Amino acid sequence: MEINEKDTGLGAKEQDSASLSEECTASGKGGPRAGAGRKPIGVTRKISLTLPQPYWDEIDRCCSKGDYSISEVLREIIEDYLQQADLLQ
């Protein structure tokens, strides 16, 4: 079956992707699968955080000593604080 840009409203790049997706699905390999991918651990919010340089230095030190991301370190700090303050169940 031939699909053209006028039929789908897709550009050439999107058509290539769509036809590849159809081929993968038709062959039973590839394509989206139920339950695939990384499981979410919560709601993501993008923030900008201003801290004094010594705080960032300590966060960077924590990241490098355990091969953690900044997000992981900050998440742990926040979770610890909320648990100690009995604000987290």
Domain residue spans of the chain? 1-32, 45-89
- Backbone dihedral region for residue 41 (phi beyond 0: left; psi -120 to 50: alpha; all else: beta): alpha
Amino acid 46 reads K
Measuring CA to CA, which residue among 25, 26, 24, 19 is closest to residue 4?
A: 19
Q: What angle do CA 80, 69, 53 make, to 5 degrees?
A: 80
Cα distance between residue 5 and residue 7, in whole Å = 6
Question: What does the pLDDT look like over 14-46, one tens digit per residue?
Answer: 555 555 556 555 666 677 888 888 788 889 999
The whole model's pTM is what? 0.54
Question: Using an 8 Å Cβ cutoff, are 3 and 21 in contact?
Answer: no
